[in-house]
Amino acid sequence: MDAASPEQTGTTFRRVLLKISGEALMGDQGFGLHPPTVGRIAAEVKAVHDLGAEICMVIGGGNIFRGLQGSAQGMERTTADYMGMLATVMNALAMQSALEGIGVFTRVISAIPMDQICEPYIRRRAVRHLEKHRVCIFAAGTGNPYFTTDTAATLRASEMGCEAIFKGTRVDGVYDRDPETHPDAQRFDSISYDEVLQRRLRVMDASAIALARDNDLPIIVFSLDEPGGLRGVLAGKGAYTTVHG
């Protein structure tokens, strides 16, 4: 099966990676999974999937366990990071359940082999799943400690030949200051990788930004809380920020 063209999908992109934080799955709770929120995000993914775009996802694990915080509280860093990777697998399975509940075929692919519950990461197999119009959810980061899910998302997007990374956040783009605490913060329509690094803007961690820059992979930051936001941004509409060269 040949990959669909942007004209066939009705979007400006053929294949993309959606990166969301684990906290995005919490809803109004302070911890864990909020099934209605997971279902709402799944519906957003389905809306884009139905247009014909090929979608892969990386979901953080911060709603369950964050390795860096565990390390800061005295836990050995490598152990804490592995625990964080396992949290991302739990979130991936929750998203798979929500997507398949609304008719979207999905594969959870883990960097740490867990044959009973998900597939091991094999690049060619993952690409084939995308070509067959299955949503691939990449879990367990890169399989290595000291690397964030931001870096894992950039790595997988590069390996899959994605045209962009879409990062869903609580705000509609990248601002010069935190817009939740500074009402006069200014949003960028576009910004370069180097400026993000120089200004230390919290788009993704520095390793992820550098990897995206080296592979000329745009990062599009948009609001995950805006109904229909993902579909609109994929079609080039709505408010968002593009990080590029």
The pLDDT of residue 206 is above 90: yes
> What average pLDDT does the segment 176-186 reach?
90
CA angle 81, 205, 138 (to 5 degrees): 55
Burial per residue of 82-114, b for 16 or more beta-carbon CB atoms within 10 angstroms, e otherwise: bbbbbbbbbbbbbbbebbeeeebebbbbbbbeb
- Say which residue, 28 or 153, is predicted with more confidence: 153
pLDDT band at 236 (very low <50, low <70, confident <90, very high): confident
Q: Which pLDDT value is given to residue 1?
A: 43
Q: Which pLDDT value is given to residue 8?
A: 43
- Domain 6-244 falls in which CATH fold? Carbamate kinase (3.40.1160)
The pLDDT of residue 190 is above 80: yes
Percent of the chain with pLDDT over 90: 78
> What average pLDDT does the segment 194-219 reach?
95
- Alpha helices, DSSP H, located in 102-192: 123-131, 149-160
- Domain boundaries in the chain? 6-244
Q: Which pLDDT value is given to residue 116?
A: 95
- Say which residue, 160 or 229, is predicted with more confidence: 160
Q: Please state, in angstroms and as integers, the Cα–Cα distance from residue 122 to each residue in 30, 112, 113, 129, 192, following that order.
A: 35, 11, 11, 11, 32
The pLDDT of residue 138 is above 90: yes
The pLDDT of residue 9 is above 50: no
pLDDT tens-digit readout, 111-134: 999 999 999 999 999 999 999 999
- The model's pTM is 0.91
> What average pLDDT does the segment 217-228 reach?
92
pLDDT tens-digit readout, 54-109: 999 999 999 998 777 777 788 899 999 999 999 999 999 999 999 999 999 999 99
The pLDDT of residue 200 is above 90: yes
> What average pLDDT does the segment 36-47 reach?
96
* Exposed / middle / buried, residue 199 (Cβ in 10 Å: 0-12, 13-18, 19+): middle
Q: Which pLDDT value is given to residue 11?
A: 64
- Say which residue, 111 or 180, is predicted with more confidence: 111
Half-sphere exposure (CA, 13 Å, Cβ side) for 195? 11
Q: Which pLDDT value is given to residue 28?
A: 86
The pLDDT of residue 7 is above 50: no
